[in-house]
Amino acid sequence: MRKIRALAVAGALVSGLAVVASATPAHAETLRNVYYSSSDCYRYGDYGVQNHMWTSYRCDNQYNLWFLWSVP
């Protein structure tokens, strides 16, 4: 009986950790690409929204590069 209880507890812990590890926020932003110019970043961001690849996006300028972030 003791072995069965230990196995049940270990199984519950492992399955609980798997659920927590795979959970992601509903509206987490994803880095899509990095561009040298703002026009390329905004053009591809608009393209993704128009073709239903993502619902919204933003372009950030850091280190003289443009980072395209989107919400899937």
DSSP H or E segment with residue 28: none
Q: What is the mean pLDDT of residues 14-21?
A: 48
1 vs 36: which has the higher pLDDT? 36
Buried b or exposed e, range 23-58, using 16+ CB within 10 angstroms: eeeeeeeeebeebeeeeebbebbeebeeeeebeebe
Which residue has 């053009």 as its token pair?
43
Joined tokens for residue 33: 């690409």
Per-residue pLDDT reduced to its tens digit, 18-36: 444 555 566 789 999 999 9
